[in-house]
Amino acid sequence: MKIKFHHILLTLLIATTGCKKDNYDAPSLKLTGKLVYKGEAIGVEYNQVPYELYQPGFGKVGPISQTFGQDGAYSSLLFKGNYKFTIPPNQGPFLWKEMAAGKRDSVAVSLTDNKTMDIEVTPFYMIRNANLSAGNGKVNATFNIEKIVTDANAKDIERVSLYINKTQFVSGGDNIAVTDLAGSAITSLSNIAMSVNIPGISPTQNYVFARVGVKIAGVEDMIFSPLVKLSY
Amino acid sequence: MKKISLITIFAILLGTGSCKKDSAFLDVPPKQVLPTELAFSDPALVLSILGDLYNRQRDFSSLDGYPIPNTSDTEPGWRTFADFSEAFPSENGSSFIVQRTGWGYGEWYIWDYGYIRDLNLFIQRATAATKLSDGDKTRFIAEARFLRANYYFEMVKRMGGVPLITDPLAYDYSGNVTPLQKPRAKESELYDFVISEAESIKDQLPNDVNEKSRATKGVALAMEARAALYAGSIAKYGAGTPQVSLPGGEVGISSSLASGYYTKALAAAQAIINGSAGSYQLYKVLPDLADNFAAVFLDKSSVNQEAIFVEDFKVNSGRVHGFTTNDQPFSISDEGLDAGRLNPSLNLVEAFEKLDNTYAPLATKDASGNPIYYTDQLDIFAGRDARLAGTVLLPNGSFKGKRTDVWAGYQLADGSILTSGDAGQLKPLPGTSTPVQVTGKDGVINGQEFRTQTGFYIRKYLDPAVGSGRRGRGSDVAFIRYRYAEVLLNAAEAAFELGQIPVAAGYLNQVRSRAGLTTALSPVDITFDKIVHERRVELAFEGHTLYDMKRWRLATAVWDGAPMTVTDLVTNIGKANKRNTQPYGLWPYKYYNPGNANNGKWLFKEILPSPVTGANRFQLGNYYSQIGNDVLSANPKIVKQPNQ
């Protein structure tokens, strides 16, 4: 009888100590922010402009790679620690600070709690005062373009495009109609007017999403005005 | 006394028995491993080692597919031909090809330095072998050097400059791996390596037209011509995309080197053309030019002197492939539901010229927008380049003595369409009560897999042998890696880029006249667009599309991510930078209007199959595949690709 009791005790002991979880907690700290130029958000294409976070000190070096949303926002769930934030070369419609030997600069991020950090970059152009409206089966847009980079790194406008889509994802790859304006046809950067016809949408809906994008010569990613939902 | 002598005898026995030397006792020759000296003592054994190295070659497209790295899955052979909007995949599990909006940066990545090491070891051991005859030894070493150069060529096409390792590296167990970490060579150095290896081994390889699956002089020269041409065009057209280059030259070639590479490409191609590597020539055997073109890929007899280097297969040997099983027309299938996966797109079909050397879309509507009616489905394709019917199995086309049954439904007089979800689902025509078949047995129904969804089946490599469509038997059609027509096109392109336009016209005309385009092009007709077009139609489904578009830096223009309209499809045919982002289909309908002159005739519509929801977008970062983080962190000397 006594031996059996010992056995039960031993089994219970093993069972209770063995119940400890052997895995780590999931990352829980949130690093969020958006791409800005002097506080103003920069719109890009969804899932096309990547950023990388490096956490040095763990042997192998590899980035945590993610992409910006179409309003320029980003967010990562991370562990507590020190990170370096960077954007790979030739990505995004903006300039990123480079070191002497063509290496990309990085931003040090010390993460101890949830953190919001906006990423300040220098875009080649900004779309200002975009005014989009819908009516008579058309979407009309008027806007100004401001040339930000004017030094040796300046680039020309290849084209300006007005995109509309039936969902909130609006870009060169996701649209139901588009009007292009070649860069050579732009005489003045202020009061540019464009319009695009709204095609039949099935199933019918009485709204579209629209935004204007600038394609810069020699730069892959376009820069966009803020997204608007237009009802008609 | 007796005891003592017994003990003595025992001790002596023990002593003598243990007197064997340790080395003699411990060094037992292994019974299941061949030691190096033994393996390299007999030509048959060496050939079996070399056979394994031949099997591990890598091509872009492959009839039997290849294993997907880091998984137990295999990329099926047919799917390696299905991308780039040149074809539509009619298998629901592969719809991602037409639903993605581009390719990941890691796509097309290869980094098999295990293979390179095995080749280097083979060369080292064969060089040290003492029991092989000099003739065998020279040939084996030259073959291994060819395979090594060919694999480096495959790597540089995908990755740009990679570490150029030509010795089997050995680790000394010192804990210091720095001597093993090699930086990437320049992209131009890789091409120079391929060219110089080909030059130095070409005369050590046999000069034999009938040797197709082992390296010969012709293969070495064909590889040299292709590599030099690629390097020349990257030097020339890469100047237009300065973002796609690295300061150390690991990616990108200086434009000043272009003409030197083109000169080498032309010289190597002309060495084959003038017969110095054997009497290679275009295949011109069958009277029907379309059948003749299809037979280039089927005929394995010595009559076929067009194929230079092939990946061969053999029925009943275990080395067969399922390309015909996967792609045969549904109603002619040997294997029930296994059929019809690879459907060439209308985009490709429209590219084939008319016999008067002009481009024109297939005439589906007249000038006022009314449909054109055809008595036979094949009539709409009449008067076209014979390579069209040789590459693509058209609606009502013939395979294994039967005709395909491809149509999407009845077009009724009131403009509506009568169709059903399956050919077996019968419906009565208006004004009748007897149910009849209202779609083709081979398609076309949106989303119905294993039947064509573009209206076309593949004909290239499709094996007409009895039983070739059965899974158990498989097909032994060979995959041609290098053939004479490509050598001619390489020579034409190199000559064109060097300004020798009449020479280029001569080579192009040879290839074109074999396809029935007998009106010769004059030098003024030879443009860059023409060169691009000719390679597209001649070399369709041979694994050239991606590499050609990359080296001309056209990929970002052709696959720009914008959805295609029918207007995009039927205009600018023959332009090199024509958009090609979504695979369209051409659906035949039977006209039903009793009493009308056109009743029972065929009309055609350009239709985007409904599974196609994505549009191909090729980004600057896709020009050179991303190097894996495992490689980057193991070797800090490796620089990253541009744009990534």
Q: What is the per-residue pLDDT across B141-177, written as a single tens digit (0 to 9) for each?
A: 999 999 999 999 999 999 999 999 999 988 888 888 8
- Residue B505, pLDDT > 90, answer yes
pLDDT at A102: 65
pLDDT at B17: 63
Q: Which residues pair with A207 in a beta bridge?
A: A231
A138, A216: one domain: yes
**DSSP codes, B152-181:** HHHHHHHHSS-----S-----SSS--GGG-
CB atoms within 10 A of CB A65: 13
Q: Which of B241, B565, B579, B620 to mutate to test the interface with A (most CBs of A within 10 A)?
A: B620
Q: Which residues of B touch A60 (CB under 8 A)?
A: 629-630, 633-634
Rounded to whole angstroms, the Cα distance separating B314 from B320 reads 6
In a domain, A15, yes or no: no
* Cross-chain CB nearest to A220 (options B562, B619, B634): B619
Q: Which domain holds residue A76?
A: 29-122
In a domain, A9, yes or no: no
A164, A198: one domain: yes
pLDDT at A101: 66
Contact B389, B381 (CB under 8 A): yes
Q: In CATH, what number is assigned to the domain containing residue A70? A: 2.60.40.1120
Domain endpoint, select from A86, A102, A122: A122
In a domain, A84, yes or no: yes
Q: Which residues pair with B479 in a beta bridge?
A: B311
Rounded to whole angstroms, the Cα distance separating A140 from B408 reads 40
Contact B615, A173 (CB under 8 A): yes
A63, A132: one domain: no
In a domain, A24, yes or no: no
Rounded to whole angstroms, the Cα distance separating A94 from A222 reads 10
Mean pLDDT of chain B: 90
Q: In CATH, what number is assigned to the domain containing residue A139? A: 2.60.40.2060
Q: What is the helix (H) or strand (E) element at residue B586, kind and residue range?
A: strand B585-592
Contact B404, B451 (CB under 8 A): no
pLDDT at A19: 61
In a domain, A16, yes or no: no
CA distances from B6 to A216, B14, B17, B19, B315 (A): 102, 12, 16, 20, 70
A214, A131: one domain: yes
Residue A37 dihedral angles phi and psi, to the nearest 5°: -125, 115
Q: How far from chain centre, in Å, is Cα B599?
A: 43
Interval B303-333: pLDDT, tens: 999 999 999 999 988 899 989 999 999 988 8
Rounded to whole angstroms, the Cα distance separating A168 from A229 reads 8
Please judge whether A60 and B633 are an interchain contact, meaning their C-beta atoms are less than 8 angstroms apart. Answer: yes
CA angle A142, A145, A149 (to 5 degrees): 170
A64, A115: one domain: yes
Please judge whether B629 and A62 are an interchain contact, meaning their C-beta atoms are less than 8 angstroms apart. Answer: yes
- Residue B507 token pair: 């080579």
Residue B177 dihedral angles phi and psi, to the nearest 5°: -100, 5
In a domain, A98, yes or no: yes
Average pLDDT score over residue span B246-251: 88
A96, A134: one domain: no
Rounded to whole angstroms, the Cα distance separating A205 from A198 reads 11
Percent of chain B with pLDDT over 70: 99
A158, A190: one domain: yes
Rounded to whole angstroms, the Cα distance separating B200 from B196 reads 6
Which residues of chain A from 170 to 189 reach within 8 Å of chain B, CB to CB? 172-173, 175, 178
Q: Residue B291 — left, alpha, or beta (φ > 0 → left; ψ -120 to 50 → alpha)?
A: alpha
- For residue B72, the one-letter residue type is S
Average pLDDT score over residue span B124-131: 90
Average pLDDT score over residue span A167-189: 86
- Residues on chain B bordering chain A, Cβ-to-Cβ distance under 8 angstroms: 101-102, 242-243, 247, 556, 560-563, 615, 617, 619-621, 629-630, 632-634, 636, 640, 642-644
pLDDT at B387: 92
pLDDT at B68: 81
A118, A146: one domain: no
Total of domains in chain A: 2
**DSSP codes, B525-538:** G--HHHHHHHHHHH
A101, A188: one domain: no
A57, A129: one domain: no
Average pLDDT score over residue span B26-40: 82
Q: Which residues of B touch A173 (CB under 8 A)?
A: 101-102, 561-563, 615, 617
Please judge whether B632 and A62 are an interchain contact, meaning their C-beta atoms are less than 8 angstroms apart. Answer: yes
Please judge whether A173 and B562 are an interchain contact, meaning their C-beta atoms are less than 8 angstroms apart. Answer: yes
Average pLDDT score over residue span A187-215: 88
Average pLDDT score over residue span B385-413: 91
Q: What is the model's pTM? A: 0.88
- Residue A124 token pair: 């080649």
Please judge whether B247 and A172 are an interchain contact, meaning their C-beta atoms are less than 8 angstroms apart. Answer: no
Q: Tokens 């059903």 appear where?
A: B420
Q: Which residues of A touch B561 (CB under 8 A)?
A: 172-173
- Residue B289 token pair: 């030019």
A80, A171: one domain: no
Interval A53-84: pLDDT, tens: 888 887 777 888 889 988 889 999 988 888 88
Average pLDDT score over residue span A111-118: 88
A64, A139: one domain: no
In a domain, A68, yes or no: yes
- Residue A146 token pair: 């401001």
pLDDT at B596: 87
Please judge whether B101 and A173 are an interchain contact, meaning their C-beta atoms are less than 8 angstroms apart. Answer: yes
Q: Tokens 């090199």 appear where?
A: B576
Average pLDDT score over residue span B536-555: 93
- Residue A1, pLDDT > 60, answer no
In a domain, A19, yes or no: no
Task: Identify the closest residue of chain A to B634 by CA–CA distance.
Answer: A60
Nearest to A126 by CA among A41, A229, A220: A41
pLDDT at B487: 94
Please judge whether A220 and B629 are an interchain contact, meaning their C-beta atoms are less than 8 angstroms apart. Answer: no
Interval A117-165: pLDDT, tens: 888 888 899 898 889 888 888 889 999 988 888 888 888 888 899 999 9
Query: Tell me, what's the ipTM?
Result: 0.79
Contact B339, B470 (CB under 8 A): no
Buried b (16+ CB within 10 A) or exposed e, B21-32: eeeeeeeeeeee
- Residue B449, pLDDT > 60, answer yes
Domain endpoint, select from A71, A95, A122: A122
Average pLDDT score over residue span B214-240: 93
Domain endpoint, select from A122, A149, A166: A122
Q: Tokens 């300006």 appear where?
A: A160
Interval B256-294: pLDDT, tens: 999 999 999 999 999 999 988 888 999 999 999 999 999
